Amino acid sequence: MTSCRAQDIRLTERFRTAGQGPESTSAFDLSCCDGRIIADNDERRLAPDRVVNVMGSGAARAQANVALAKYWGKRNEALNLPYTGSISITLAGLETFAQVDFDASLQSDSLELNGVAAKQDEARKLSSFLDLIRRQSGVSRRARVELRSNFPVAAGLASSASTFAAFAAAATRAAGMCLTDQELSALARRGSGSAARSVFGGFVEWLAGEADDGTDSYATQLAPPEHWDLGIVVAVTAAEPKAVGSREGMARTAKESPFFPVWLQVHDADLEAVRAAIRVRDLALLGQAAERNCLAMHAVALTARPPLLYWNPGTIAVMQRVWSLREQGVEAYFSIDAGPQVKILCPMEQRDAVADGIRGVAGVQRVLLSQPGSGVQHVEVG
């Protein structure tokens, strides 16, 4: 049996208290013994050689991502299976830390989000995810879970992606599960679709798959972070949670928008354009495809009944500023996920100038600087 391997990183006190961590580009290597992707409807335990020494505790961190060719709509909501594939960039610095301790003294799961007990709906979702891991690993204990993010959550910055990627890595580590990268990605997808992509660093594609049980729907890395030194500027125009979550928004759009079939028809062309642009590092091609795909996604959301408008005045003002910068010769392009925040792609050497141009825009509360980041990482605690 090939043992699971992980890049250990010492957890600093600063990260434990503020949701931040030491700089590192080492990916959390979960490659181990050969094995099939865990079926989404498979309630059986892993084979004995796929469960190594049960640690009892595990911790990991993962980073959010921005989708350049987005997924919007699920062919199976229960298993988080998308109608389309998607491609993203993992965002350095926008991190979630997760620690999981299986404790025989607990009568129920203890779940904490950013220092506050999880609300009922949040707790139900997190415990259901733990139940999936308990069934597959054979661990029966309840768990104490701590989740911390260093950026606004449920506000259109892909916090669910980093949360469930880190949570999946920490919980499977604690349960002694030996998973391949693809298996971890497929498992993280069960918590949040976009979490499948945050398992990997750099430039990542999530395959839509065709199997009813989801065994062929997982993410894979197209290129590592160092493949392309892109600058990324994030304009935060609202810190509060969005009124309509992505899960509800997708379901409404797929059911109620007359243009949803058109969205599915045009999406493959954007996927191919984004793939090609990443391969040859062509920012103009990437930016044009990302903007086109972003606007198409929001257009189909706007035509749902009732309509979905995730933008606020600050969002539109930032879009207009990006177009203005481009007219001035600055190579900048935007993308917006399901929320009001705007992510801007630009050459790394122009990132500070782009950020300065965005800070003065009315409605912008905060500007974050990022670049292609690493995948999920194990964190040593204690």
DSSP secondary structure string for all residues of 111-178: EEETTEEPPHHHHHHHHHHHHHHHHHH----EEEEEEEESS-SSSSS-HHHHHHHHHHHHHHHHTTB-
Mean of the per-residue pLDDT values of the chain:
87
User: Residue 25 corresponds to which tokens in the numbers above?
Assistant: 């580009």
Beta bridge partners of 220: 205
Alpha-helical runs (H) found in the chain: 13-18, 120-137, 159-174, 181-191, 195-198, 246-256, 260-280, 283-302, 313-327, 351-359
CB atoms within 10 A of CB 93: 18
pLDDT of residue 158: 56
Across 290-320, b (16+ Cβ under 10 Å) vs e yields bbbbbebbbebbebbeeebebbeebbebbbe
Instruction: Give, in words, the CATH class of 13-228+373-378.
Output: alpha beta
34: confidence class by pLDDT, cuts 50, 70, 90: very low
95: confidence class by pLDDT, cuts 50, 70, 90: very high
What is the mean pLDDT of the segment spanning 322-340?
96
CATH 3.30.70.890 residue window(s) in the chain? 230-370
CATH 3.30.230.10 residue window(s) in the chain? 13-228+373-378
Instruction: Give, in words, the CATH class of 230-370.
Output: alpha beta
Q: What are phi and psi of 192, to 5 degrees?
A: -155, 130
Q: In the chain, pLDDT over 90 holds for what percent of residues?
A: 79
pLDDT of residue 234: 96
pLDDT of 170 > 90? The answer is yes
- Say what the pTM is: 0.86
User: Residue 248 corresponds to which tokens in the numbers above?
Assistant: 């509800």
Q: Is the peptide bond before 306 cis (omega within 30 degrees of 0)?
A: yes
pLDDT of 162 > 70? The answer is yes
pLDDT of residue 99: 97
